Structure 1
């Protein structure tokens, strides 16, 4: 199985890793993508920190790849899903921002609407 994880924060990555923790096997690949604007150093730092969590928390997976990309989060995730021909996309319900509402975020809505493969939306716990 090949999973695509879309993240923008440590909190989102941790929640997704909790979901995937009992599901991944040594035969699985997890590609973790953080989308951050290239001109926002804080967002880039948050994205890099989010990417550091996945290989540690998903050590049971056969291969965990991470990369930071720029652009519209939903567009980047959908393009990446096609590029890697993933089996499942796993995203957070909203950004990992502690001030975000509990509602489904616009990027999650777009991924759900436009994806041609299964999408799992994971809740982000309150901090």
Structure 2
């Protein structure tokens, strides 16, 4: 199986790895993508740090590749999923709006892809 993982933080990557670790097979291919808008240094730093977690935590997979992309999150994830011909997209659920079930990125991704999307709960750091 080819998986595209979208992440924006170490915390999100850890939650996704907790979900994926028991499900991975040595034939699975995982591409982990972090994105940030150009000029957003904090988001870029967080994304790059998040990419360091995946290869260690997902060592049971046949391959784990990481990639940082500048640009809008949804478009970048869709392009990355197409490039690797992902069977599934895995992302973390987060929302700045405490009343929302998922954030705007997740909603937009769900609306714009025909690939299966797994939304992994990410516990609040509060």
Tell me the TM-score normalised to structure 1 length: 0.91
- 1:89 maps to what in 2? 89
Structure-2 residue corresponding to 1:62: 62
What is the aligned-residue RMSD (CA, Å)? 1.4
Q: Does 1:23 align with 2:23?
A: yes
Cα deviation, 1:30-74, whole Å, max 9, x if unaligned, reads: 000001123122111111110001001101011000010011111
Pairing partner for 1:115 from 113, 118, 122: 113
1:36 aligns with 2:25: no
1:40-55 aligned at under 5 Å gives the runs: 40-55=40-55
Q: C-alpha deviations, 1:71-104, integer Å up to 9, x for none?
A: 1111111111111100000001126xxx663631
| Structure 1: segments with no counterpart, 5+ residues | none
Per the normalisation by structure 2, the TM-score is 0.92
SS of residue in 1 equivalent to 2:108? helix
